[in-house]
Amino acid sequence: MPTPTPKEFPLRHIAIEGPIGVGKTSLVGLLAKRFSGTQILEDVTNPFLADFYAGKKGAAFQTQMYFLLSRYQQQREIAQIDLFRNLVVADYTFAKDKIFAYLTLNDAEIALYDKIYATLAANVPRPDLVVHLTASVETCLSRIKKRGRAFEKGISAEYLKSLVEAYNYFFYHYRDGPLLVVETNEIDFVERKGDLDDLIAQITRPFRGTQIYVPRGSRK
């Protein structure tokens, strides 16, 4: 299947999702470059993140609220973009904020969080397509180590396992629009152009509901 040219790209707003280390930001950059799109990258400079990974008391709520408000601001910026003229590719969905909230906050914090989230979510645009990248805990840990972000050194295999499971559960029940689930353990769309081309062919293929893409395996 031929790869679409920028003018032929059928979608205007795509969100790439998945757990830490799965390759979201790399794919966003590749798609934006290939199709002359605008990339929206999640703010990872959260000042509370290091304390959260270190297990500091109260840091989970501080971290979550910072991310919630930062993500909301970015999503409002997306709403101002002319989607008829510009392809937007984001490395997260606003809805994913709940994945982390329910994984890390206590009941009292969740009650407050839910009230704030509901107010903000009503004003957030929905993407035309969500691409959920999946990978094993071992694969994610390897990719995290490779990119070498200092604040991610405290991420444990146990925490990442719970995060992978939470993502899988969340997107198993996702019904807000088309969803493409991509198994990434055996592909490298950064280093192998063939893997990227095959993935783009899946992303640009019209469908409804949820589709699962399991690539044929590694290419040399």
pLDDT tens for each residue of the chain, 220 residues long: 555 554 567 788 999 999 988 999 999 999 999 988 999 998 878 899 889 888 899 999 999 999 999 999 999 888 888 766 788 999 999 999 999 999 999 999 999 999 999 999 999 989 999 999 999 999 998 888 887 676 677 788 898 899 999 999 999 999 989 999 999 998 989 889 999 999 999 998 888 899 999 987 544 4
Q: Give the three-class secondary structure for 97.
A: helix
Closest CA to 32 of 196, 216, 198: 196
- Sketch the domain layout of the chain as residue ranges: 7-213
Residues recorded for the chain:
220
Q: Fill in the DSSP letter of residue 80.
A: T
- Cβ atoms of residues 36 and 6 within 8 Å: yes
CATH superfamily of 7-213: P-loop containing nucleotide triphosphate hydrolases (3.40.50.300)
**Would the pTM count as exceeding 0.75?**
yes
Question: Of 43, 51, 91, 114, which is the active-site residue?
Answer: 91
Least Cα distance to 212 among 178, 177, 169 occurs for: 178
Paired with 15 in beta bridges are 90, 130
Q: Is 91 a catalytic residue?
A: yes
